[in-house]
Each structure stands twice: as C-alpha cells, then as structure tokens.
Structure 1
Amino acid sequence: MSDRTKNIIVYSVMAVAIALFIYAVFVGNQQKQLEEESNHSSRKEQSEEVRSYDSLGDSAPNSQPKKSDLITEEHHEEVQIDIPEMDTLIPPEGQYADYFSKEAIEASRQAARNFVEKYYSFQGEEPLEHIENAKPYMTDDMYEELKNENPRPTAAVSYKEVETIDVYEPYEPTEEHLIWKVRVQGNVFDSGGNKTAEESMDYTLQMEEEEGSFKVQNYMLNVPY
C-alpha cells in the first residue's frame, strides 16, 4: 500500500472520529437543556401552587391546612350561651329595705329628688334663688356653705331647666347612711332664651334625719355609682 493511500485512510478515520465527537457533544447539550427546562417547569408549577395557596387559601392536594385555617374553623363553631331568667338573678347583697323602714326610705328618696330639682334650676337674674329654693331640703351647715359659693351667669349659661330626674339606690347600700344617686337631664339657656346645651348631671346625696324629716347633708357631682 502506498503512502498516499495510507494518508487518505488516516485522515478519513480522524474526520469520522471528530464528527462523532461533535455529534456526542451536541446530543449531550440537547439532553441537558431538556432536563433544565423540565426542572424549571416543575419549579414554576410549585411556585404557582404556593402563590395560589397564599392568596386563595386553597392548599395543594395531600398538604396540611395552615394553623390560621384551623383557628377560623374553630371560630365558626356555634357557641351556646345560657341566659338566666330574670327571676333567677341574684340581687346585690344588702338593700335599704334590710336596714331602714319603708317610711324612711320613701321620705329620704323624695327629699333627695326635691333637692336636686330645686338646686339644679339655676336662674342667672337671681344667682342665689336656686339655693334658697333648695334650702328646705338641706341641713343648715350645708346651706351656709352653698350660699357662699355666689355663682355667676355667663353668656352661654343664663339659666337651667330640669328635663327629667331619676333617683337610684346605690348598688351596695350600707346601714350607716341613706345615700341616693340622682341623675338629672337638663337644658341650658343663654340670656336670650336660646338653648345652648343639653347636659346630664349625677348627684350623690348623703341624707340625714332631722326632727323627723330627711335632708341632704352633703353631695358630690359625677362620681362613679
């Protein structure tokens, strides 16, 4: 065999080997790309599934519900509440009827009501008139204190009128003193007769018995019942 023939055979084998190598590299790259695309698609589906779960609250099949879903379900359970009948309610411990006579209770209640009705009705033209009107329903010591207050009318408060009065027994009465809670709803007027305000005042009145009648010994405004 001549040298020229040998060279042709060697070059042909080398060409085939190079072609096979290039083909193998190409096929390998294609396979790798397909695997990457498959993995990317799988991750995308999982990501979309997670986003769907977070936004809609619907978990993927065979997944565990979130704790917040369990709490929501528990909150939707029907709760039975037993409401007692009115006649079975336990009254507060102690009532004025346990310590005082019916006559004393009614007399002191009326005196408290009369005091607030007269004392609240301030008249700017006669600043002490409401105190004088309430004098029969208060002790002498209290009268001396109140008349020294010398209240003055203002542009917006010229006089007051009572709208309603309610008298309440305190929740925990004692046997030492008869104390009444009196709430007055009133209207406030200016000097032209125009109503400038509606107000609610809570009086706490401590009563004292004098010569067979009850009078206000002391009072406080807008304290808790």
Structure 2
Amino acid sequence: MFQQLDSHIKQWIVNSVMGVAIALLVLGFFTGEKQDGQPPPAETEVNRQQENKEAISHDSKAEPETIEQYYADDYGDMGEIPPTPVNESEQPPPLEEFFSKEEIAESKAVAEKFITDFYPYDGKDPLQNIRNSKSTVSRDLYELLMESPERPTSMTVERELVSLETIEPFAPAAEVMTWNAKVNGVVTDAEGVKRAETDLYKLKLEKVEGEYKVVDFLVNYLE
C-alpha cells in the first residue's frame, strides 16, 4: 500500500517519522541529563540521615565515659581503694629504745660539731678542716684523713657551710650509733664562680674513752 502512495506523500511520511524519532531522542537525552543533576530522592536522604544517627548513637554507647569503665573488663571494679592501715608494730624502733636520752643528745652534738668543723674547705690549706675536726673523730679516722686529704679541683677550691640538719636514722641498731645529716653549702670553683650545693652525710659514732667520736662517715652514699 505504501508503494501505491504518491511520491510527495511518501516523502512527507518519511520526513514526519524521522522528525518524531529525532524529537524523541532529544527529549530522552535532556531528561537523562536532568535526572543526573538532581539530588537524591527525599526518601533516600532520610534513610541516610537515619543511618548516620544510628552510627553516632552506636559509637557513643560503645565509648566508655570514664577510665574506670574502660578498664572494667580487665581489672574489674576500680572504685576508691581504702587506705592501707599502718601496723605500728612493724615500724622500726626509735633511738630511745636502744640508747638513753643523754647518749642521743651527746652523740648528736658531736655529729653536728664534726660537720661544722669538717665541711668548710680551703683549697690553699687542704688539711685545715681535718685539724679543726680532730676533737670529734677517733684517732684512727684522724690519721686516715690526714694521709688522704681532699685535694682542690677545678670544680671545688673553697666550700662554706650554710645550714645543717641532723636526721635520726630510719632503722637504728643497738650495736652502733648513727646519724644522718643534710648539709647545705656554697662552693667556689677555680674561676671564682659560686654555686649552691647539698650533701648528705652518714656518720657512725662510737664511745672512745667514755666520749662519743666519729669513727667513720660517708658522703652522698645511697643505700
């Protein structure tokens, strides 16, 4: 039937069909572009917001509020620990348990006098502090100190006493009297520069001919 139509009519039909086809193609192209540029549907956005809220809620529940909660699984309840009671019977005895008040006072006075006489130092006369402390030390200690006096160094050429604090030993023994001392002083170096210095003395005293004498001592010794 199409072959029997006039050539002009045929041409018009063909042109019309092609025009419709082209119009459909153009319409479809612009429709696709518009959909690609549009934001996601409202329902999808709502779902995404809901998922974010659920994720945040899950993280906040999983994160512990305190350090105690964080370690609770491994260490159990970490509540306040009551102070451990002190058993007085387990504490070391004081000096008074081994020595009389007179012995404690006498030995303390000797220890303080020894440091007061021995600590000051003059590098120009290294034996001076030893001679000054002769009355407070035993004969054996005095001879030992005189044989090996402190020599001046670039760091120490002079030493002056500033303050002295005697401290009762933490765990005294009945066999020997000991005293600890904290000594603050000012030390001068070879360049004349002064610096503050603190030394810790540990003194051992014994009765020699009825009087307490320093028989040995250590300086800055850590037990």
- Whether the 8 Å contact between 1:156 and 1:196 is mirrored in structure 2 is no
1:220 aligns with 2:218: yes
Matches within 5 A, 1:44-193: 62=57, 64-65=59-60, 70-71=65-66, 92-153=91-152, 157-188=156-187
Off by >6 Å, runs of 4+ in structure 1: 66-69, 79-83
Amino acid at match of 1:108: S
Are residues 203 and 67 of structure 1, via their aligned partners in 2, closer, same or farther at CA, if it must alter by over 3 Å?
Answer: farther
- The 3 A distance-change label for structure 1 pair 20 and 140 is same
Shift of 1:124: 4.1
Determine helix, strand or coil for the equivalent of 2:133.
helix
Q: In the alignment, which residue of structure 1 is the partner of 2:5?
A: 2
* 1:180 Cα deviation after fit: 0.6
Range 60-69 or range 127-136, more displaced: 60-69
8 Å Cα contact 1:94/1:173 also seen in 2 = yes
The unaligned stretches of length 5 or more in structure 1 are: 51-59
What SS is found at the alignment partner of 2:186? Answer: strand
Quote the offset at 1:18 in angstroms: 2.7
Distance 1:35 1:199, change over 3 A: closer
Q: Pick the aligned partner of 1:24 from 28, 34, 39.
A: 28
Hey, what does 1:55 align to over in structure 2? Answer: none
Q: Residue 92 of structure 1 contacts residue 171 of structure 1 at CA under 8 Å; is this kept in 2?
A: no
Mark the CA change 1:66 to 1:219 in structure 2 (over 3 Å): closer, same or farther.
farther
Q: 1:176 to 1:66 in 2, by over 3 A?
A: farther
Distance 2:182 2:220 in 1: 9
Q: CA deviation at 1:197?
A: 3.1
Q: Could you tell me which amino acid in structure 1 is paired with residue 5 of structure 2?
A: S
The answer for unaligned runs of 5 or more in structure 2 is: 70-78
| Percentage of matched positions with identical amino acids | 30
- C-alpha distance in 2 between matches for 1:35 and 1:126: 96
Distance 1:9 1:163 in 2: 123
Deviations 1:153-187 (A, max 9, x none): 46775543322111101222222321111122223
For residue 142 of structure 1, give the secondary structure of its aligned residue in structure 2: helix
TM-score (structure 2 length as normaliser): 0.70
Aligned residues: 201
CA shift digits 1:5-55 (9 cap, x unpaired): 23422331332233123212321222123257x89xx7xx99xxx9xxxxx
1:75-101 Cα distance to aligned partner (Å, 9 max, x none): xxxx98999xxxx99694221112211
Q: 2:196 aligns with which of 181, 195, 198?
A: 198
Answer whether contact 1:187 1:195 (CA < 8 A) is retained: no
Structure 2 SS opposite 1:202: strand
Instruction: Classify 1:154/1:12 alpha carbon distance in 2 versus 1 (closer, same or farther; 3 Å).
Output: closer
Root mean square deviation, CA, Å: 4.0
Q: TM-score, normalised by structure 1?
A: 0.69
Aligned to 1:53: none
Residues 85-139 of structure 1: CA distance to partner in whole angstroms, max 9, x if unpaired? xxx9969422111221111111111111111111112244543222122111111
C-alpha change, 1:62 and 1:152, in structure 2 (3 Å) is closer
